[in-house]
Amino acid sequence: MSEPIIRVSALNKIYEGGFQALKQIDLDIQRGEIFALLGPNGAGKTTLISVICGLVNATSGQVVVDGFDNQADYREARSRIGLVPQELTNEAFETVWNTVNFSRGLFGKPPDPEHIERVLKSLTLWDKRHNRLITLSGGMKRRVLIAKALSHEPRILFLDEPTAGVDVGLRREMWDVVRQLRESGVTIILTTHYIEEAEEMADRIGVINNGEIVLVEDKAALMRKLGSKQLALHLHEPLDSVPLALAAYDLQLAANGSELIYTYDASRTGGAEGQESSTISALLADVEAAGLVFKDLHTRQSSLEDIFVDLVKER
Ligand SMILES: Nc1ncnc2c1ncn2[C@@H]1O[C@H](COP(=O)(O)OP(=O)(O)OP(=O)(O)O)[C@@H](O)[C@H]1O
């Protein structure tokens, strides 16, 4: 695997007044991925982004952006990052073109009308380039925020709650825009408190709660775990070990030997094949043939929501 594009090490942030908003954060962001940072209100998402972007100073720890320390080499590090904030701030009477063009200048980059044209076209803002921001729809305004953040050709784009408070249609539109950006080679980090959004968009998901990263995992791996379902058989008599006759099912014993647990892929139980359903029938037949008697059975399945709630509750 190539060097991470962002490396965050042992990062702490204590605000004036003593509140610790980030606790010993270690996090690598891989080149070209979409990383979703998921967490409840007040978890520390905005603080973490602000520290990585160099807008808020860390109390201790280090952030390296594409090989540049974001303190010692602030300009180099910052120039690689585009930040899409939650809200558009007071440029209501400016035109789209001027706003985006001006943003590029803030990074000390020479004007490049061709780049701005490409960005506006890719975000379908080209026809609106002479419009004042105040005349744009909510969706267009969000696109302008993205265009501003891309004006200086960053390799990394942070989106802070890109779809907070927007309707379903606009949310889908934003997701498409983000996917296209990733295809163009931009690494994307988005914060969200919508589990659905993380599920839909991310290659990897990180969960932050109370200033701590409590989980970082590949979405696919996470979904596989979530997609798994368990069948528990409550036995009449507890067992010391799983009978050899049942070895093929890879069963586990739980509750001091009084429960036999079978874990399977829930996504395969439905549909025409019903592969797992027939395995379960075979398992039950084999359990009976092995002379085991069970008094009850139940199944359970967790969702991303459950895992998230558990993670957040535990702390
Ligand atoms: N300037 C500040 N001074 C003191 N405390 C702050 C400051 N900024 C944020 N905090 C506190 O730090 C914690 C994390 O805030 P942060 O905005 O990073 O959370 P968040 O995960 O982005 O939340 P949200 O989803 O609500 O935007 C909160 O408890 C907040 O009150």
pLDDT 10s digits, 40-62: 888 999 999 999 999 999 999 99
Q: What atom of ligand 1 comes closest to residue 49's alpha carbon?
A: 18
What does DSSP say about strands 228-235 and 259-265: parallel, antiparallel, or unpaired?
Answer: antiparallel
pLDDT at site 272? 46
* 81 has pLDDT over 80: yes
The preferred substitution site among 13, 15, 190, 312 for testing ligand 1, maximizing ligand atoms within 8 Å of CB, is 15
pLDDT at site 309? 72
Sign of the alpha-carbon torsion through 103, 108, 109, 113:
positive
- In eight-state DSSP terms, residue 159 is E
Residue nearest to atom 23 of ligand 1 (CA): 42
Residue keyed to tokens 């950006």: 181
Q: What are the structural domains, with CATH classification, of the chain?
A: 6-224 (3.40.50.300), 227-302 (3.30.70)
Q: How far is the CA of 83 from the centre of ligand 1 (A)?
A: 17
80 in contact with ligand 1, CB cutoff 6 A? no
pLDDT at site 122? 86
Residue keyed to tokens 């990180």: 206
The preferred substitution site among 16, 23, 41, 46 for testing ligand 1, maximizing ligand atoms within 8 Å of CB, is 46
State the virtual CA torsion across 189, 193, 196, 202 in degrees, nearest 10: 10
- Kindly state the average pLDDT of the residues 193-214: 89
- Kindly state the average pLDDT of the residues 90-118: 90
67 in contact with ligand 1, CB cutoff 6 A? no
Amino acid at 36: A
* 168 has pLDDT over 70: yes
Q: What atom of ligand 1 comes closest to residue 40's alpha carbon?
A: 25
* 273 has pLDDT over 70: no
> HEC states along 267-309?
HHCCCCCCHHHHHHHHHHHHHHHCCCCEEEEEEEECCHHHHHH
The complex scores an ipTM of: 0.96
Q: How far is the CA of 231 from the centre of ligand 1 (A)?
A: 42
List the alpha helices (DSSP H) in 123-260.
138-150, 168-183, 195-201, 219-227
Q: CA 297 to CA 231: how far, in whole Å?
A: 7
Name every residue whose Cβ is closer than 8 Å to that of residue 23 and which is 6 or more positions away in sequence. 12, 210, 211, 212
Residue nearest to atom 31 of ligand 1 (CA): 42
Q: Is the pTM of this model over 0.80?
A: no
* Residues belonging to the chain: 315
Amino acid at 312: V
26-38 tens-digit pLDDT: 999 999 999 999 8
Q: CA 219 to CA 46: how far, in whole Å?
A: 22
